């Protein structure tokens, strides 16, 4: 697949030789089509907030005599501008990740530390949403990778869990090392995701329920970023969910060999 095999007779050498011409046009065409899709999707997604900002500018202009209305429109304009900034940031992040198969900055990372910090950083959102959140499981779990990218990935999963959770529910973050693999699960008691859409939620800009997603915010790129970060680290992300029974996203990453023995020693001591 992706190559042409040609049998040739090369006179001076005699006999039959096999010439394999690697044809990477299929790959090239596929990448080009994906890039075109991405540009089309991005343009479409940017149009909404950009259009809203210019409509609000017009509204402010025509409500100049009404300070209350001006303040209200300005507030909405600020919200749209923030949304735009978030979208642009995610687009840049995703295109950076798509351009590479390797982890650029690698170091030994304690995932427990990353997760605790990610949970701390979402404390305000959890409070706003009236959702409880906690981290449990192993006290250390070391992987090799880029701490900033790993933080981005887990922040996205935790943010989603909080944003899609009804008030009064709990989000659980669990970490476990076993047989050379570190598993992190983020579980919520939200609406869940229908089975036939579970693969699609990792696609760029795919949303299960457009109306609901719009009201909960988000760019539609979060899970796509998670998938790229995890695969760049040699891992995988899976989803278990049933409508009405919440969702669990599980990330599995190879344990850092250097630290594996240290973890066992630390856990034996604690």
Closest separation in Å from C-beta 83 to ligand ADP: 11
* Contact status, residue 251 vs residue 153, Cβ threshold 8 Å: yes
Closest separation in Å from C-beta 231 to ligand ADP: 15
Closest separation in Å from C-beta 185 to ligand ADP: 12
Looking only at the bridges linking them, the beta strands covering 170-178 and 132-137 are: parallel
How many CA atoms lie less than 13 Å away from 248 in the CB half-sphere?
12
Q: Using the minimum distance from each CB to ligand ADP, give the nearer residue, 220 or 259.
A: 220
- Residue for token pair 């409070």: 127
Closest CA to 138 of 181, 106, 187: 181
Q: Using the minimum distance from each CB to ligand ADP, give the nearer residue, 59 or 208.
A: 208
Closest separation in Å from C-beta 197 to ligand ADP: 8
What are phi and psi for residue 55, nearest 5 degrees? -65, -40
Q: Which residues bind ligand ADP (CB under 6 A)?
A: 156, 160-161, 164, 188, 190-191, 193, 201, 206-209, 213, 218-224, 247
| Cα–chain center distance at 228 | 7
Q: Using the minimum distance from each CB to ligand ADP, give the nearer residue, 81 or 108.
A: 81
Closest separation in Å from C-beta 133 to ligand ADP: 13
* Contact status, residue 76 vs residue 51, Cβ threshold 8 Å: no
Closest CA to 152 of 107, 232, 93, 200: 93
Q: Using the minimum distance from each CB to ligand ADP, give the nearer residue, 106 or 217.
A: 217
Q: Using the minimum distance from each CB to ligand ADP, give the nearer residue, 160 or 183.
A: 160
Residue nearest to ligand ADP (CB): 218
């Amino acid at each position: 697949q992706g190559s042409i095999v040609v049998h040739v007779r090369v006179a001076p050498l005699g006999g039959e030789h096999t010439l394999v011409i690697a044809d990477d046009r299929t790959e090239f065409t596929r990448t080009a089509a994906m890039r075109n899709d991405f540009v089309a999707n991005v343009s479409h997604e940017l149009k909404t907030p950009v259009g809203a900002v210019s409509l609000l500018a017009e509204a402010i202009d025509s409500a100049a005599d009404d300070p209350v209305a001006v303040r209200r429109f300005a507030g909405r304009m600020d919200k749209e501008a923030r949304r735009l900034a978030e979208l642009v940031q995610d687009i840049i992040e995703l295109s950076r990740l798509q351009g590479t198969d390797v982890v650029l900055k690698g170091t030994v990372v304690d995932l427990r530390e990353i997760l605790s910090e990610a949970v701390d950083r979402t404390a305000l959102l959890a409070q706003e949403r009236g959702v409880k959140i906690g981290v449990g499981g192993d006290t250390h779990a070391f992987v090799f990778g880029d701490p900033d990218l790993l933080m981005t990935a887990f922040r996205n999963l935790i943010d989603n869990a909080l944003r899609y959770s009804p008030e009064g529910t709990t989000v659980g973050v669990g970490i476990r090392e076993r047989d050379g693999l570190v598993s992190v699960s983020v579980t919520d008691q939200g609406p869940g995701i229908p089975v036939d859409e579970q693969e699609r939620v990792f696609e760029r800009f795919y949303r299960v329920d457009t109306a609901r997603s719009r009201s909960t915010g988000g760019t539609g790129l979060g899970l796509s970023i998670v998938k790229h970060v995890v695969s760049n680290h040699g891992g995988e992300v899976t989803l278990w969910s049933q409508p009405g029974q919440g969702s669990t996203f599980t990330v599995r990453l190879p344990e850092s060999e250097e630290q594996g023995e240290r973890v066992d020693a630390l856990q034996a001591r604690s």
